[in-house]
Structure 1
Amino acid sequence: MIYICADDYGLCSTVSLNILKCLNEGVLNKVSAFVNFDKISSDEFGAGDNIALHLNLVEGRALSDLKGSLLTDEKGNFKNTFTGLLKLSLFNSKRLYEEAYREIRAQLHAFLKIFPKGEGIMIDSHQHTHMIPVVFKALLQAVSDEKVKVRYLRIPVESFVPYIKEPSLYFTYSPINIIKVALLNFLWLFNKRHFNKNPLPTGLFCGVFLSGRMDERVKKIIPHYIRLAKKKGDALEILFHPGYTDITGNKENVVFKSFYLSENRKKEFDTVMDLKG
């Protein structure tokens, strides 16, 4: 199975509409949705087989009562970045675990009210925060306690091999993204032992190395990933952010506005639409 995924559905109406266009007219076959921003509906997704929960601990309003906690400010808005959560996991791990566990359960409940999943749920997270070991453990525990059947869990561990095989692209790679990939791969070393106790369906992943600019270059990278997935007998997820917009409204809890307003999101939209050809 190859998943062509778009994150951030439900951020605002424009982002959601552009993602739906990719779903209906492009090659997109997986959409990852927030449950803590705009109200979302199952009407656009039929049986909802292609919709995933985009767990969110860094932006927007918490669904559980966490006002003035490690995770949120006094208004209940999330206040940490990935880096901030990682620091908390090192120095206040017990409390972070408890708060993350409570919020993950709340978001699971909200998602399953909209998309009841008898055949299983797909899960990933905003900014890949579930890869922080404390959060990862909280997620596994919440899924177990809620008796949620998981059909697919994103593990954003990215192989460097496909990128090494394209020398013509070497000088186009972002050093920051390379560091992100290395960090996520490193964190997986800690998460893997917990995951292997009760493994969940997952697959190979592509999407951080070129994050923010999944443009024409990805057409050279994808074939290498497809061959790698076939060799391993694994599923493959390719992540895009095609939900571009020119306005996010006056939401005070939308933290990463510059990312959502970036012209590169329109380029990612165009890339997803072009892949159909």
Structure 2
Amino acid sequence: MTVRFHADDYGITLDQARAILALSDACGGSGCLSSVSVFANSPALAEAAALAAPHIASGSLLMGLHANLVEGRPCAEATCVPLLVNERGTFRNDFVALLAQSRSAQRDELRRQTECELTAQLKRYLAAFPAAQGALRLDSHQHTHAIPLVFDALLSAARTCGCTVEYVRTPAEPLRPHLASGQALRRLSLVNLAKGALLSRLWAKNRGKLPKGCATSLFCGVLLSGRMDEIDAQLVRAFDELAFARARAGKAPADGSVEVLFHPVSVPLEQCLDPQNAPFATACAAPGRDAEARALTALR
């Protein structure tokens, strides 16, 4: 079985990108990190891509697109995606607002604008990582690709860009490993349990749409959101054992792998993608991100 420790939000700044790569033994640092996903709409994309390129080429690091519809500036012209942006030209929605829009009378226009933006993000990502066209790895900020409309737009954007989708995150986290580890009641909040239930329900509508040959993994990272520094070897082992059992029984994910998601390394508030978007910027600058970085080192 394979457990992959992953960092979202790579490349907000060059310093943050460098600090994240330092959490990987395989990239010359000290830690268990083995994959990252990057914001295509980050001003630091080119520099962060150049920093990661040698490790990707050597096979030491997996890189994916962190599709983003909720924070910072769009890659498409703001005038082309008015349902996605505010008067400042930055993204206006969070997950809940996007989900509500996707079920409104504006859903057809939202679908068009979402595909426009995701196509622009993919083109910018592929300019930085050309080899990804033949082996594209996808996830998203706030797991918005669990929303069926967004997922459809993301896959359509990938087809438009001529991509072969190699991997898509499955943001449906099982409760069983948490119960098996004996720490569920202490660790899991009602908010995260509700979030996990919603993501699982939405993702059930997307499972049958995955491209042929596209891999997925058992996923850990929502039910302990904000507290991933508390993860321990016992919980990781419980996920690994469940993945093995599912693979042996012929159930998805077929390869028996596990993705464990972290958001390591805090960024100064003024350097976040949109410092005026208080909920996102506060989360980006939170000291808990540095605690998650220390956890990645402790788990090695």
- Where does the alignment leave 5 or more consecutive residues of structure 2 unmatched? 248-254
Could you tell me which amino acid in structure 2 is paired with residue 137 of structure 1? D
Shift of 1:275: 1.0
Corresponding residue number in structure 2 for 1:78: 91
1:50 and 2:62 are equivalent in the alignment:
yes
| Distance in 1 between residues matched to 2:87 and 2:159, nearest whole Å | 30
User: CA deviation digits over 1:242-265, x for unaligned, max 9?
Assistant: 122344338445541221222211
What secondary structure does 1:237 align onto? strand
Q: 1:159 to 1:168 in 2, by over 3 A?
A: closer
- The answer to whether 1:107 aligns with 2:124 is no
User: Number of aligned pairs?
Assistant: 275
Residue 21 of structure 1 corresponds to: 22
- 2:167, 2:215 within 8 Å by CA — same for their partners in 1? yes
Give the TM-score of the pair, scaled to structure 1: 0.92
TM-score w.r.t. the length of structure 2 is 0.85
Classify the secondary structure of the residue corresponding to 1:140: helix
How many angstroms apart in 2 are the aligned matches of 1:140 and 1:161?
30
Q: Secondary structure at the match of 1:3?
A: strand
- Aligned partner of residue 29 in structure 1, secondary structure: strand
The 1-side partners of 2:232 and 2:150 are apart by 30
What is the RMSD computed on CA atoms of the aligned residues?
A: 2.0
Q: Give, in angstroms, the shift of residue 240 of structure 1.
A: 0.5
Structure-2 separation of matches of 1:149 and 1:26: 30
Does the CA contact (< 8 Å) of 1:9 and 1:243 recur in 2? no
Q: 2 CA distance for matches of 1:79 and 1:247? A: 18
Match of 1:141 in 2: 156
Shift of 1:25: 2.1
For 2:146, the equivalent position in structure 1 comes to: 131
2:71 pairs with 1:59: yes
- Indicate the residue corresponding to 1:212 in structure 2: 226
Distance 1:176 1:154, change over 3 A: same
- 8 Å CA contact 2:13–2:44 kept in 1: the answer is no
Give the 5 Å matches for 1:1-277: 1-23=2-24, 24-40=29-45, 41=47, 42-45=49-52, 46=54, 48=56, 50-67=62-79, 69-91=82-104, 92-117=106-131, 119-195=134-210, 198=212, 200-231=214-245, 232=247, 233-249=255-271, 251-252=274-275, 254-255=277-278, 256-276=280-300
Are 1:169 and 1:217, in contact at CA under 8 Å, matched by a contact in 2?
no
2:267 aligned partner, one-letter code? T
**For the structure 1 residues 55 and 79, does the alpha-carbon distance in structure 2 shift closer, same or farther, using more than 3 Å as the test?**
same
Cα 1:217–1:76 change in 2 (3 A) is same
Percent identity, aligned pairs only? 34
Q: CA deviation at 1:16?
A: 2.1
Q: Offset at 1:178?
A: 0.6
The one-letter code matched in structure 2 to 1:155 is: T
1:26-83 deviations in Å (ceiling 9; x for gaps)? 1111011111122223322216352111110000000112337110123321000000
The Cα of 1:119 is off from its aligned counterpart by 4.5
One-letter code aligned to 1:209: L
